[in-house]
Structure formats: C-alpha cells, structure tokens
Amino acid sequence: MLLQSASEVLSTVWSSTQASLSVILVLVYGFFARKLDILSPEGEESASKLCVTIFLPSLLFSEIGPLASWENLQQYWIIIAYALVFQAISWIVGVIGVVVFKMPPWIVPCMVFNNATSMPLLLLSSLGKNGTLSPLVGKDSLDDVLDRGQVYLLINALVCNLTRFSFGPVMMKKHPLDIPHPWSHSESPHAIKQLVDEVRGYPEVQPYENQDEETPLLDQVKTGGKRSWRALKIVKKSVAGFMNPPMYGGLAAITLGVIPFTHRWLFEKGFLSPVSESIDKIGKLYAALQMLVIGAHLKSKKGSRPPIFTLIYLFVFRFAIMPVISTAMVYGVRKGLGDRILADPVLDFVMMIAPVGPPALTLAAIVEMSDTHEETETAVAKTIVISYALTPLISASVTAALAVVQKLY
C-alpha cells in the first residue's frame, strides 16, 4: 500500500513537472528571442497588443461558446458556485496581505486568479495517461472520465475568465479596500448621486416665458427625454469601465451560446461553424505567444525582484492552504447535499484541484489592460515564472484529493 502511494506521488510529481516545464521553456525562448534581438521592442509591444485585443478574446469565445447553454448552466450550477466561493476566499486572503502586511496591490489578482484552463487540463491528461486516475474510472472508460473532467474544468474556467477580466484590471492597480464597482470608472466621483439627480429631475428646468395651454406638457416631455438620455449616458460610461476585449469575447460567446439556434449554427457543425472554427484557430495562438511575450518582458522591462515575503505568502496560499480549503469544502458539500448535486467522483476531484496552482498566464494581459507601471509588469512576470517552477508541488494536493474522493465513494 505504501509502495503504491509512493508510486502515485512520483507519477503525479512527474506529470506536474512536465506541465510546468513546457511553460517555462517557452518563457525561456521568449527571453532569448528578446536578448538576441530576434524580437524587437516594437515587435514585443505589438505581440502583446495582439494577445490582448485579438487572440485572447478569440480564445475565450471558442472555449466558452460550446459550453454556454441553459442545460449546462442548470446542470453544472454547483461548479459556478464553487468557482465564485473559492475566488471570494482568495480575495479576502489577498486583501489581508495588502492591508495588514502592506504588500503591493498586484498580489490580490495573483491570489484570486490561478491558471484555471491550460495547467489543469494538461495535468488531467497526464494523470489519465499514467494511470493515476484509475480509482475514479469505475465502470466507465478512461476516455469518458477525461471527457467529463475536461467539461467540468472548462465550466469552472468560464466563470474564472469572466470574473478575471471584469475585476482583474481594477484589482491590479487599486487598493483592495477601494471596492471595484462600475461607478468607480465613470467621469464623476459622484456618479450615483448624479444619476439619482437626473432621474429625480434636478437641476430643475425653468418654464418657458410665453406659455400657452400646450407648453407645460411639451416642456415635461422635452425635459423628461433629456433627463433619460443623460441618465443612459451615465450608465453607459459606468458599465464601459468593466468592458475590455476579452470581456467582449466572453459575453459574445455566452449570448450566442445560450440562444439555441445560434448555438447550433456556430458550435454544432451548422452553416456558421467555419466562423467559430476560424476563431478557434486564432485563439489557439494566444497561449504560446503570451508566454513568449512574458519571457521577452523579463529581459526588456525594468524592475526589481518581487518582495520575498510577498512571494512566500502567495505560494504558501496557492500550493498549501488553498488545497486544504477546496478539499474540505467539496468534502463538506458532498456530505451535506449528497445526490442533490451532480454525483460524480470526477466532479469532486476536479473541483478540489481546480483552484490550486500557479497564477494565471492571462495576468500578463490584465497588466497590459490596466496600464500599470513597468515595475508592476516586471514583478508580475517574474512571479509567474517562479510559480511555474514550483508547480510540481501540486502533486501533494492531487494525491490527497484522490484519497478523499475514494473515501466519499
């Protein structure tokens, strides 16, 4: 039994190492491309903008669209709830780091937004190939287990991506106690009061000097129309503060995905499927190019090493504390609700490991969108590199999650 457990740990360590090495090597390629002037400063900036404005929105569209249906939202609501709760817990821990320990604000999105797509999918595939997931197979085939696990991970990634690009740019540069909300982006610091005044009719409009019987009614119509238009402009400016290219891609995918006929046309080999397939091909360019850009940033961007205590705080939470929280929560929910939620050992296992691991690569894109200082950009890039070097630490979480799931079922 002990030998079997040690073998599982070693195979998980090797799977995690393989997944992290593939990321780190691409970062190294980007570093030397910049150092040898194969990639120019202008090319680096252009590639970064391409990632944010075209490739990343396309990736989100192609990932979210096929899964965006009313059936999925109804069946997998527990995954959405898990994702939001885990992010809320991570945000609280990040706020404590900034407020109590005076850490830089960029640590908060690094705490909240882990790699929820490429790393878990690679890890799941590797674990399936080396036999680590055999306790979860049961009567099903390994392919069925992997397919279900990928769906669960992508549903979780859908939620994480939408919250990441809604709140990430604000978290990256603002103090966490400045609670991000749409009104914080409007031109006026008193946008809510301004909107209320518009609706109530302040400031008052003076009546016309030469009135007849029809003038008061026309005056009210004109005044009401102007107030409504100004109120709509205030709302538009406020909501626009949360919008960015990745958000447009994600919202387009959800909108077209939940409408049955557009879902069939785009994502089920309908007559518009060439459009979705072309977007999918563009989106697949994002991950490798973004990693190259991060590697180039390590060479070209100026900035000091991230604070040691900040890194320790981040990595202890992401690789040690968060696994305990996620495993305990999933275990408690399964014990409490039982079959009232989707009963699948693969679901429980995936949700135990989904919030664990290194910060998301897309944080580099969020830095670009938030227009922060160059030092912040360098600090985030270096933090991402170090975190992927520590990715094999996930093996302990994976082994523990498997043991807990086996007890549950």
pLDDT of residue 383: 94
pLDDT of residue 74: 81
Average pLDDT of every residue of the chain:
83
* pLDDT > 60? residue 17: yes
The whole-angstrom separation of Cα 14 and Cα 127 is 10
| pLDDT average, residue stretch 272-299 | 91
pLDDT of residue 184: 42
Each domain of the chain, given as residue ranges in start order, spans: 2-182+243-408, 191-239
| Burial call 227-254: b when 16+ CB within 10 Å, e when fewer | beeebeebbebbeebbebbbbebbbbbb
| pLDDT average, residue stretch 186-190 | 41
Is residue 76 a contact partner of residue 155, using CB atoms and an 8 Å limit? yes
Model pTM score:
0.80
The whole-angstrom separation of Cα 19 and Cα 321 is 22
The confidence band for 208, taking pLDDT boundaries of 50, 70 and 90, is very low
* pLDDT > 60? residue 129: yes
pLDDT of residue 226: 57
The confidence band for 201, taking pLDDT boundaries of 50, 70 and 90, is low
Six token digits for residue 274? 């060439």
* pLDDT > 90? residue 173: no
> What CA–CA distances, in Å, run from 96 to 90, 93, 100, 101, 300?
10, 5, 5, 7, 32
* pLDDT > 90? residue 42: yes
CATH topology of domain 2-182+243-408: Na+/H+ antiporter like fold (1.20.1530)
pLDDT of residue 231: 54
| pLDDT average, residue stretch 181-197 | 45
Quick one: which of 377, 328, 385 has its CA closest to 85? 328
Q: What does the pLDDT look like over 327-376, one tens digit per residue? A: 999 999 999 998 889 899 999 999 999 999 999 988 988 988 887 888 89
| pLDDT average, residue stretch 248-276 | 92
Q: Please state which of the ranges 128-132, 153-157, 404-408 shows the lowest mean pLDDT.
A: 128-132
| pLDDT average, residue stretch 202-217 | 49
Q: What does the pLDDT look like over 287-333, one tens digit per residue? A: 889 889 989 988 888 777 899 999 999 999 999 999 999 999 999 99
